[in-house]
Structure 1
Amino acid sequence: MNPFIKIRRELHQIPELGFQEYKTQQYLLDYLSKLPQERLEIKKWRTGLFVKIQGIKPKQTIGYRADIDGLPIHEETGLDCLSVHEGRMHACGHDFHMSIALGLITHFVNKAIDDDLLFIFQPAEEGPGGAEPMLKSEIMAGWQPDMIIALHIAPEYPVGSIGVKEGLLFANTSELFIDLKGKGGHAAYPHQTNDMIVAACALVTQLQSVVSRNVDPLDSAVVTIGKITGGTVQNVIAETARLEGTIRTLSAESMARVKDRIIALVNGIETGYQCQAAVDYGSMYHQVYNEEVLTREFIEYAEQRSGIDVIHCKEAMTGEDFGYMLAEIPGFMFWLGVDSEYGLHHAKLNPNEAAIEKAISFIADYLQFKSAQN
């Protein structure tokens, strides 16, 4: 078995939520400790890692980011390497991302190139967001790369393919939490209460008009309410309700416009249903914007490589906090085809492990090519 498939399976068994990746961090450290240490320097940052490989005659530092956290999902894959953490799963492919990064580190500690390489194992990508604070850390200030890249698995693409485009790749995203508080009471006396189940339902319906009537039809935005909680028992009118959702837009201007409209609708609910409301946007992720020159060069390189099929993809409404790094450091992200019947964040996601070896080989060659340019 390919050693990095074995690593992926072991990592798949220990998914941990954002900033709780203690086992994961230790696993990475244990593996890295067995590699040649002459040109390797490792620094811990919270539950993440910075791993620097010194080049022979560096003119630049090339960065590579791999996220490391899992999701609060009960796994239903039936795999032998099933998660041993109940209610936790690597359902977004971060186990793949880490094993590929370890494969690249292993390659370059044994085969030096001219430039320095910085591998960033980033916690909390799924929330509350590790990229922005990691970017602002003292370690990054001393080791900040001149360019940076990352990948994300794509279940819908076949193994051997990559999806990439210049410019905007992933959307601006924001969490959305709305708490409503009215007056509860007996179900037989609704006139003596302010029912927050009714208010919540009305608000959900009104929120559907935000995109259709407040966003330019030539732009794109999404407002999704994924969870509603409220009430205690069938014969008691609910005093409180909570809506949880997400906002996604292809421009910062649309994000601001959508949020303004949500506040206006919530204010109307307060008046119309005689209740109190609070809105919290939680974590917000910056758009992933691929720097045009570097991305175009990468596409041209990939198109000339045998065994790699380049898919010129469209922008997606997915969110990725790697966007914060790209806002400060030139670089790009691309999709890696893994050919899974089930998609990202699904309890049955089962990526094809053949993509791991292909990714390591392809990216290692690209990084060597990029270093040799200078």
Structure 2
Amino acid sequence: MLDLIKIRRDLHQIPEIGMEEVETQKYLLKVIHEIIANKAFIELKTWETGILVLLHGSQATKTIGWRTDIDGLPVEEQTGLPFASKNGRMHACGHDIHMTTALGLLEVLGQTQPKENLLFLFQPAEENVAGGKQMYDGNAFGDWLPDEFYGLHVRPELKVGDIATNTHTLFAGTCEVELTFKGKGGHAAFPHNANDALVAAAYFVTQVQTIVSRNVDPLGSAVVTFGQMHAGTTNNIIAETAFLHGTIRALTLDVLEAVKERLETIAKGVAGSFNQEVEIKLTQGGYLPVENNPQLAHELMTFFENETAEVNLIDIEPAMTGEDFGYLLSKIPGVMFWLGIDSPAPLHSNKMTPDEKVLDFAVSNIAKFLKIKTED
């Protein structure tokens, strides 16, 4: 049997940014080859830094997919753990737990040939460039495309034993926003001879707050956040340009599109009022809302609630977190769920520390669900 804790700790030490997961892929392939050795019904292929493993069913009429993401974040780890990453990256979103769980599931379910096909997808670049969309659009699946897709995401504030999902939208769709206001630089003592881009950007940041409060249905949900601003070079020079970097999040595509449109209108209006130019870049890509298929989600929730005594099933409200699994679920019916890991620090924190007891729990209980799906 695999030593899941060792695998998780090994992976935790080598986090890599999306589409750069070379060492991660190498480690995963080593373990996968050990699992599938001498099993003629299992086939493997790679795409860039991603991996696809297919268990060919004995009487296959469909393909069930299990997806895990494999990339890390540009976060300097501060956990103090003996197996902490030292490369300036960190699995601060729990993808090391995701990968280890997937390897454990592959080991358990790969012991015997299933009736239906079972695909394991180890997907790169969830955090930065929507690897799921890239793989789908690049025909990485070929004729291995699943008929149903399942996946999980760890959630720090839930306890080990908690599985949480719903029969509708689980995560928001997201859109990255980059804006550059372009004015005219000059001496701080002569503002009338310049055109201050910093002031224009400040007005924009203030005005854009009205989108959620005055342009979005109060019963809808949206977030507009600008977390980065760069303008100017020193205290006595008026800024010629001002750069803003932010995010839009919404639970439906209709609301997301409406917010994007309104943001553009405000940006152009502010620029015009200051007699400036503005460059606007909106990048949504594959980060669509994660919309669970109602029927499949009901089946999964019923199974975990009634058939697995270890699981505390929670019917949970949507969260404004983003996930590129939303793109795959827009093409293929499926379900994503939260997995409790009981960490005192939140997702993306440099101190995020999952309780490793979750590994045995996750593999044991999810394997039961996938076995039912592939043997019916």
Partners of 1:22 and 1:47 within 8 A in 2: yes
- Work out the CA distance in 1 between the residues paired with 2:332 and 2:56: 20
Greater alpha carbon shift after TM alignment, 295-304 vs 136-145: 136-145
- Work out the CA distance in 1 between the residues paired with 2:6 and 2:149: 27
- Work out the CA distance in 2 between the residues paired with 1:134 and 1:223: 29
Q: CA deviation at 1:54?
A: 2.0
Which AA in structure 1 matches 2:56? Q
In the alignment, which residue of structure 2 is the partner of 1:288? 290
Matches within 5 A, 1:144-155: 144-155=145-156
- Work out the CA distance in 2 between the residues paired with 1:188 and 1:105: 68
- Work out the CA distance in 2 between the residues paired with 1:63 and 1:348: 32
Q: CA deviation at 1:84?
A: 2.3
In the alignment, which residue of structure 1 is the partner of 2:34? 34
Which AA in structure 1 matches 2:7? I
Which AA in structure 2 matches 1:310? L
SS in structure 2 opposite 1:317?
strand
In the alignment, which residue of structure 2 is the partner of 1:239? 240
Partners of 1:129 and 1:283 within 8 A in 2: no
1:17-54 CA distances to partner (integer Å, 9 max, x unpaired)? 11111111111111112222422211111111111122
Greater alpha carbon shift after TM alignment, 147-156 vs 283-292: 283-292
In the alignment, which residue of structure 1 is the partner of 2:169? 168
Residues 1:18 and 2:21 are matched in the alignment: no
- Work out the CA distance in 1 between the residues paired with 2:370 and 2:292: 17
Matches within 5 A, 1:83-232: 83-86=85-88, 88-232=89-233
Q: CA deviation at 1:186?
A: 1.4
Partners of 1:249 and 1:255 within 8 A in 2: yes
Matches within 5 A, 1:282-321: 282-284=283-285, 285-304=287-306, 305-321=308-324
Partners of 1:180 and 1:196 within 8 A in 2: yes
Partners of 1:19 and 1:47 within 8 A in 2: yes
SS in structure 1 opposite 2:32?
helix
Q: CA deviation at 1:370?
A: 1.6
- Work out the CA distance in 2 between the residues paired with 1:85 and 1:112: 40
Q: 2:367 aligns with which of 364, 370, 373?
A: 364
- Work out the CA distance in 2 between the residues paired with 1:261 and 1:286: 19
In the alignment, which residue of structure 2 is the partner of 1:253? 254
SS in structure 2 opposite 1:357?
helix
| RMSD of aligned Cα (Å) | 1.3
Structure 1: tracts of 5 or more residues without a match: none
SS in structure 2 opposite 1:350?
coil
Q: CA deviation at 1:82?
A: 0.9
- Work out the CA distance in 2 between the residues paired with 1:112 and 1:372: 10
- Work out the CA distance in 1 between the residues paired with 2:249 and 2:331: 21
In the alignment, which residue of structure 2 is the partner of 1:66? 68
Partners of 1:173 and 1:247 within 8 A in 2: yes
Q: CA deviation at 1:283?
A: 3.4
Which AA in structure 1 matches 2:141? M
Which AA in structure 1 matches 2:210? S
Q: CA deviation at 1:367?
A: 0.8
Q: 1:327 aligns with which of 309, 327, 330?
A: 330
- Work out the CA distance in 2 between the residues paired with 1:56 and 1:342: 45
Q: CA deviation at 1:2?
A: 7.0
Kindly tell me the number of residue pairs found equivalent between the two proteins: 372
Which AA in structure 2 matches 1:59? T
In the alignment, which residue of structure 1 is the partner of 2:342? 339
- Work out the CA distance in 1 between the residues paired with 2:139 and 2:250: 32
In the alignment, which residue of structure 2 is the partner of 1:274? 275
Identical positions, percent: 46
SS in structure 2 opposite 1:281?
strand
SS in structure 2 opposite 1:347?
coil
- Work out the CA distance in 1 between the residues paired with 2:269 and 2:34: 61
- Work out the CA distance in 1 between the residues paired with 2:193 and 2:28: 59
- Work out the CA distance in 2 between the residues paired with 1:281 and 1:91: 26
- TM-score when normalising by structure 1: 0.97
Partners of 1:340 and 1:349 within 8 A in 2: yes
Q: CA deviation at 1:110?
A: 1.7
- Work out the CA distance in 2 between the residues paired with 1:329 and 1:163: 21
Partners of 1:208 and 1:223 within 8 A in 2: yes
Residues 1:50 and 2:38 are matched in the alignment: no
SS in structure 1 opposite 2:320?
coil
- Work out the CA distance in 2 between the residues paired with 1:222 and 1:244: 14
In the alignment, which residue of structure 2 is the partner of 1:8? 8
Inter-CA distance 2–234: structure 2 relative to 1 (3 Å threshold): farther
Which AA in structure 2 matches 1:33? H
1:250-298 CA distances to partner (integer Å, 9 max, x unpaired)? 1211112111111111111211222110111123411111111111111
- Work out the CA distance in 1 between the residues paired with 2:140 and 2:262: 40
Partners of 1:66 and 1:98 within 8 A in 2: yes
SS in structure 2 opposite 1:345?
coil
Structure 2: tracts of 5 or more residues without a match: none
Partners of 2:174 and 2:249 within 8 A in 1: yes
Which AA in structure 2 matches 1:73? V
